[in-house]
Amino acid sequence: MATAIAHRAHSTSARRGGWAARAYRTLLAIGLLIVWSGVDSFAGSDAAVDLDSPPVETRSPPPATDSDGQADAGSATWKPTIPDDSADWVMMVSGEWLRGKLHRLREDTMEFESDELDDLTLDFEDIAGFRVGHNRVFVLNDRTQYTGRAVMQDGRIAAWTAEGKREFAREHLLSIVPAAERRLDLWDGKVSLGVSSTSGNTDQQDMSGFGYLRRSTSLTRLRFDYNGTVSIVSGSDNANNHRGTAKYDVFLSERWYLSPAILDVFSDVFQNVSLRITPSAAIGYHIFNTSKIEWDVEIGAGAQFTRSDSVPLDDNGQPLEDEDSLNGALITGTRLEWEITKRIDWSLSYRLQLGVPETDQRFQNLFTTLSLEITKILDVDLSLKFDRAANPPREADGTIPEENDVTVTFGFGLDF
């Protein structure tokens, strides 16, 4: 009986041991299945973007939001869609995602427009990744350009272009600029005009205007400028001056640019300058080149041709001085464009031209404008123009023109 009891105890223990072993094996299998499912789910999520596959539009649930309606950075389960045509996404190193439109990246500063946060300026070092759904031009350090949509992740960037996928390291990226869908998109400009009229004891009509037309790409910039003033008092000219400039720039690097072709044309009969033409070339440097402020300085050299409006005559009616002169010129200048607020802009340009070897021929021009935006295309402009000609040539009657001319203009500008 003792043997039978012992046998039953042993059988019961064996059955219990077999049940425990089966339960252990079952739990182990379930655990392995859970781990495998979690790894497979993570690998299949859009958090790990496959840089071998082009961006495709997908759908995802809306992000978790805080009390202010902003995306909750702590919501680890949500990620934005793969790039589509509706928005661009930027991920900060903190893990926060920003939705909006990426305008450009230059000088390690990204310009990003958010519907909720408005215009943002982000340091590139604070950005962990991005998903660009709009076509952009990606410019590398060696000046190579790729146009298309792109994803940046783990220090690598994949861009999908018309020629196929291109992949490169983050540190090789120099800038990101908008891709013009039409050639017309490369152009922008402005025209501003101020007019006044007086009648009665004095009949006077004044008109001043300025404008520019600019074509910008990732590697070049072409710009045409004009400003002029005409004033008529009782049928006679009281002011009549005009300046036009054409300039072509080639960007050599993030900071430096070359201006191989510059042409400046000036006329002011009251400075006794019928025509002054100055072709030149220059080297320039970007002090600032951000979304809010652009400041360039440059220095160059060229030739200077001047024709006087009149010259003194002797008793026989022969000119005492040459009407035309030709010499060299050293030129330096600067241009500043500053978006002070969303509605107020300030621009300033200054140019100093020094004759060589006739150093007494010095010409200075300063033009500055404060613009208040009324609508998207209409501005109110307050402008000041200063022209100085050292030692201006004598006129036919022997008088010497004033060296300085200052014009202040109030007018309306049209942006396009």
User: Binning pLDDT at 50, 70 and 90, where does residue 26 land?
Assistant: low
Task: Identify the pLDDT of residue 359.
Answer: 84
Domain ranges of the chain: 88-179, 184-415
Instruction: Name which residue leads in pLDDT, 41 or 239.
Output: 239
- Three state DSSP letters for 95-141: CCEEEEEEEEEECCEEEEEECCCEEEEEEHHHEEEEEEEEEEEEEEC
Burial of 270 (0-12, 13-18, 19+ CB in 10 A): middle
Mean pLDDT (whole number) for 42-66: 42
Query: What integer best gives the mean pLDDT of the chain?
Result: 83
Does residue 116 register a pLDDT over 90? no
Task: Identify the pLDDT of residue 259.
Answer: 98
Query: What is the C-alpha separation between 268 and 13, in angstroms, rounded?
Result: 115
Mean pLDDT (whole number) for 277-290: 94
Task: Identify the pLDDT of residue 178.
Answer: 86
Homologous superfamily of 184-415? monomeric porin ompg (2.40.160.40)
Query: 55-59: which pairs have CB atoms within 8 A and are 24 or more residues apart?
Result: 55/82, 55/83, 55/84, 55/131, 55/133, 55/149, 55/150, 55/151, 55/160, 56/82, 57/81, 57/82, 57/84, 57/85, 58/82, 58/84
The residues, ordered by sequence, that sit 6+ positions from 271 with a Cβ below 8 Å of its Cβ are 241, 387, 389, 392, 401, 405
Over residues 339-354, the pLDDT tens digits come to 999 899 999 999 999 9
Its pTM surpasses 0.85: no
Task: Identify the pLDDT of residue 173.
Answer: 95
Mean pLDDT (whole number) for 110-118: 86
The residues, ordered by sequence, that sit 6+ positions from 78 with a Cβ below 8 Å of its Cβ are 60, 61, 63, 64, 71
Query: What is the C-alpha separation between 24 and 27, in angstroms, rounded?
Result: 5
Burial of 273 (0-12, 13-18, 19+ CB in 10 A): buried
Q: How far is CA 130 from CA 7, 161, 255, 273, 355, in A?
A: 71, 17, 25, 56, 52
Mean pLDDT (whole number) for 282-297: 91
Residue 153, both tokens = 């992740």
